[in-house]
Structure 1
Amino acid sequence: MSSVTHTIRNKARLLRQAQRGFTIVELSVAVAIAGVLLVSAIALVQVVLRQSRANDVVSSIPRVMTQIDKIFSRSTNYVGLNTDAAIGFGAFEGVFDITGATGNRRASNRFGFPTTVDVATDFSGAGTSSGYVITFAGIPTNSCADIVSSASATGVRAILVQPEGAIGTRSITAAGIATLTLAGIQAVTQGGADAAAATGGAAVVQGHLANGSLDIPAMADARACGTNRPSVSIGLVNWK
């Protein structure tokens, strides 16, 4: 009987040990690992979403500019061009969210902020309105260099970049664009050293070099994609 009793006691002890489950330390380690994996997964999703939205911005550029130039191909200027007009003749079809009533419509890019069209009223001569700027607001600084370099390869004639004071509030303003001149853009030196006087504060990262290439030092400058602010406005310039 003593042998049987001993066996029963051993089995009972093993059963109690099995029922104890995880210790507090083991549970803490498991929770910590799960937390790290969750944070990593969220960060990865955010990166993928940002890259996808940046790709949408880049893919929209040829469509928007081609449609504007097509509509104004028989005109010597861009008089009458603005955001609502561009929406009306289909320049923003595709990857933009269009809201508002006719006359006051808004085109939001994939980052959820306005994309606007403004005419440079004295771009290459008195009152000619021969240039325009498409401004993407609310572009994350982490996506700035990718978008600028990709846009540069689409045939855009000039690119402006300016950090935003508040996310989504465009820093390349309509008032600044109205005073923009071709001579001012072309006078900017390598690296965009004198861009403020020529563009109302925006850094010129393309359009001032003889070969039309991207000015990488200007793009990386603290007044452009190298800023410590969370977002920038990117302006794409075209002219007759």
Structure 2
Amino acid sequence: MLQSSLSVKKARSRRHAQSGFTIVELSVAVAIAGVLLVSAIALVQVVLRQSRANDTVSSVPRVMAQIDKIYSRTTSYTGLNTDTAIGFGAFDGVFNITGASPNRIAGNTFGYPTLVNIATGFDGIANSNTGYVVTFTGIPQSSCSDIVTSAAASGVRGIVVAPEVTAGTTALAPAGMTLNGISIATAGTLVRGPATGGATAVALKGPGLQGQLDVAAMTNAAACGTNNSTVSIGLVNWK
């Protein structure tokens, strides 16, 4: 018996309806796409953060070598600050130099200022200016250990780490490293002392550690082990 035209139309209609996606199927597809997108964004952030950390590490020996070169014929670092360091080329293309002298800023790869300060009284003599510190601010806590470890391997003589209350606002004393309980007399030991905004961990090369920095100690809660999202990392040198 021949099918009626109505039956044929219903059959075609059912086949047409079954060829699309159901709401459940669409919901699952959107959910999967969302998960993939979030994962991709997270991966990009990790890669970007690692790249910035690598750039920071690679800049360390260049910055400090240029400062030491300029002051190699002097007995102190008198006159050294961020602006003068920018002026004699201590900061290369890795840094974003903004502003006008004498208030120029050297932005690091994480977008926060890099500071250069004299370590006054570092040798126990007031205003001797025989030391200095290059401070990278706004360093993500997750990048702290990598930067500290690599900086130590690059030949840096001293490292200071302090958790930041506000990202990019240094937790180290702006000048006079002895304000953080740091002096040449403490070389070879780990020092923990007060600092603006929180505790500080310090490691300086000295006889007690056979000239090696106690990098492992920098993972404590006063330094890279902090719960704060960012830290200030100061790299120290002296005459």
Instruction: Mark yes or no: TM-score above 0.5.
Output: yes
Give yes or no for contact 2:171–2:195 (8 Å, CA) kept in 1. Answer: no
**Deviation string, structure 1 residues 207-229 (Cα, Å, up to 9, x no partner):** 25422323244211000000001
Q: Deviations over 1:2-21 (max 9, x none)?
A: 14756565334323332xx2
Query: Map of 1:48-67 to 2, 5 A cutoff?
Result: 48-67=47-66
Aligned to 1:37: 36
TM-score, with length taken from structure 1: 0.89
CA contact (8 A) 1:159 1:207 kept: no
- Aligned pairs for 1:74-89 (under 5 A) are 74-89=73-88
**Match in the other structure for 2:183:** 181
Aligned 1:135-150 pairs, distance under 5 A: 135-150=135-150
1:118 is aligned to 2:120:
no
The answer as to whether partners of 1:181 and 1:198 remain within 8 angstroms in 2 is: no
Q: Please tell me whether the aligned partners of residues 162 and 223 of structure 1 are also in contact (alpha carbons under 8 angstroms).
A: yes
Pairing of 1:124-139 with structure 2 (within 5 A) = 124-126=123-125, 127-139=127-139
Unaligned runs of at least 5 residues, structure 1: none
Report the TM-score, using the length of structure 2 for normalisation: 0.89
Specify whether residues 51 and 187 from structure 1 end up closer, same or farther in structure 2 by C-alpha distance, changes over 3 A only.
closer
Partners of 2:84 and 2:216 in 1: CA distance: 35
CA distance in 1, matches of 2:70, 2:22: 72
3-state SS, counterpart of residue 129 of structure 2: coil
Aligned pair in 2 of structure 1 residues 198, 31: CA closer, same or farther (>3 Å)? closer
SS of 1:196 mapped into structure 2: strand
Kindly indicate which of the two structures has a greater share of residues assigned to strand.
2
SS of 1:162's equivalent in the other structure is: strand
Equivalent positions of 1:1-240 (< 5 A) are 2-3=2-3, 5=5, 9-18=10-19, 21-126=20-125, 127-177=127-177, 179=179, 180-183=182-185, 185-186=186-187, 188=189, 192=190, 194-196=191-193, 201-208=199-206, 209-240=208-239
For residues 9 and 99 of structure 2, the distance between their equivalents in structure 1, rounded to whole angstroms, comes to 79
Contact 1:161-1:233 within 8 A present in 2 as well: yes
Which residue identity does 1:132 align to in structure 2? Y
Q: How far off its partner does 1:43 sit?
A: 0.4
Q: Tell me, which stretches of 5 or more residues in structure 2 are unaligned?
A: none
Give the direction of change, closer, same or farther, for the CA distance of 1:125–1:32 in structure 2 (3 Å limit): same
Q: Distance between the aligned counterparts of 1:93 and 1:122, measured in 2?
A: 29
SS in 2 for 1:118: strand
Q: Equivalent residue of 1:167, what SS?
A: coil
Aligned AA (1:139): I
**1:11 to 1:84, Cα distance in 2 relative to 1, 3 A:** same
Alpha-carbon deviations, 1:175-232, whole Å to 9, x = none?
A: 452644211x3263xxx3x421799942113425422323244211000000001010
Quickly say closer, same or farther: Cα 1:124–1:198, change in 2 above 3 A. farther
